[in-house]
Copies of this chain bind each other. A is one copy, B any other.
């Protein structure tokens, strides 16, 4: 039991952090790039603000509600596989015992211990089913609140991230000036975000900072060139 808690803790933090990272990374990048792109072919900031806020609304719903439904689908998938394993240990007990034995052998269990361990595991149907779920299929039960939390975390992170590059366009009618301020503020925000993300995920923070800035900068540059080329 303490082992299970340990494993769950090990997985819990990355899920929340990953959700914030997903929302913030896209929220900082796409509205920034869209606003930069439009600045290249539109002369009033009002249009950039309209397009930017429409994008933030669309993006946060697509990502948040999308995240909610994806997490719910994961959970449904887990329970449909669980029901199938429950049927299989009743209908095909010998094949399922054989699968347990194969897994134990692969782990290097000495042949003389295999049958005893298979007997012990298959004696308790619930333990047997969860053994198959975890080690044959690699599935663990997704947390029930994850779908809703994931949705809110991703959506709000996207909105928060998206308002940073858009803010300068609220305060001036000059798209060129707004673009310069937006680029400076957003590249700094991407750098800080990438640095913090690197620390959380245990990778090199400085490398993470430059990588995140690269994605945002490249997206904005290409969006600018595309818009300038048509507009």
Contact = CB atoms under 8 A, between A and B. Distances in A.
B120 A54 contact: no
Q: Could you tell me the dominant secondary structure of chain A's interface residues?
A: helix
A107 interface: yes
Interface in A47-68: 47, 49-51, 53-55, 57-59, 61-63, 65-66
Given A76-B203, A116-B113, A38 B54 contact: yes
Contact of A10 (B47, B127, B138): B138
Contacts of A53: 226-227, 230
A77 interface: yes
Given A58-B223, A106-B4, A113-B116, A41 B50 contact: yes
Contacts of A66: 25-26, 29, 215
Interface residues of A, number: 78
A3 B117 contact: no
A41 B195 CA distance: 39
A90 interface: no
B57 A222 contact: yes
A50 B38 contact: yes
